[in-house]
């Protein structure tokens, strides 16, 4: 797991400071063993990232990290929202709210037009910086992901 983050950190510019951000977006193929020179990001990930920023979360994306990404448009009913490193768990409730809006509100209608009758499967990888680094690789329904994130937020609230 740390190798994934080490790979990310090795590709960041020297002046990049982790402490300036609450969440870092990074390419979904970062953890891939056969990592090519291209970093992939889906259109859904871009919309999700914009929504997080709109909630006031300080985020680092391709522009801030200087990672050149290629947009990968899949022909599937699955939704790929990318990979994230949550550096400050205080933002977990906001992350959950944006995720819920993406799947249960009309805010992201353009994603849902062709998928209305299909079962939604979300794909994401989320790292948390806590006392140690935790990682969730998730492929499943949005409701379950939200439940998991709420439980993590509650655990961090008790600490």
* Whether residue 139 has pLDDT greater than 90: yes
d(CA 138, CA 142): 10
pLDDT digits (tens, 9 = 90+) for 13-44: 777 888 899 998 887 776 665 555 667 788 88
Cα angle 77, 85, 119; round to 5 = 15
pLDDT digits (tens, 9 = 90+) for 53-108: 999 999 988 778 777 777 777 777 788 888 888 988 888 888 888 888 877 764 45
d(CA 137, CA 70): 21
- Kindly report the pTM of this predicted structure: 0.76
pLDDT at 107: 45
């Amino acid at each position: 797991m740390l190798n994934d983050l080490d790979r990310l950190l090795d590709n960041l510019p020297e002046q990049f400071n982790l402490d300036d951000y609450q969440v870092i977006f990074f390419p979904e193929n970062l953890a891939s063993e056969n990592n090519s020179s291209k970093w992939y990001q889906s259109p859904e990930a871009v919309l999700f990232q914009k929504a997080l920023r709109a909630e006031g979360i300080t985020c680092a994306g391709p522009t801030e990290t200087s990672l050149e990404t290629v947009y990968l448009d899949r022909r599937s009913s699955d939704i790929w929202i990318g990979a994230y490193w949550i550096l400050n768990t205080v933002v977990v409730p906001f992350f959950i709210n944006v995720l819920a809006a993406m799947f249960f509100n009309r805010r992201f209608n353009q994603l849902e037009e062709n998928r209305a009758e299909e079962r939604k499967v979300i794909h994401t990888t989320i790292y948390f910086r806590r006392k140690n680094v935790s990682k969730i690789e998730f492929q499943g329904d949005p409701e379950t992901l939200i439940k998991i994130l709420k439980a993590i937020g509650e655990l961090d609230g008790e600490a």
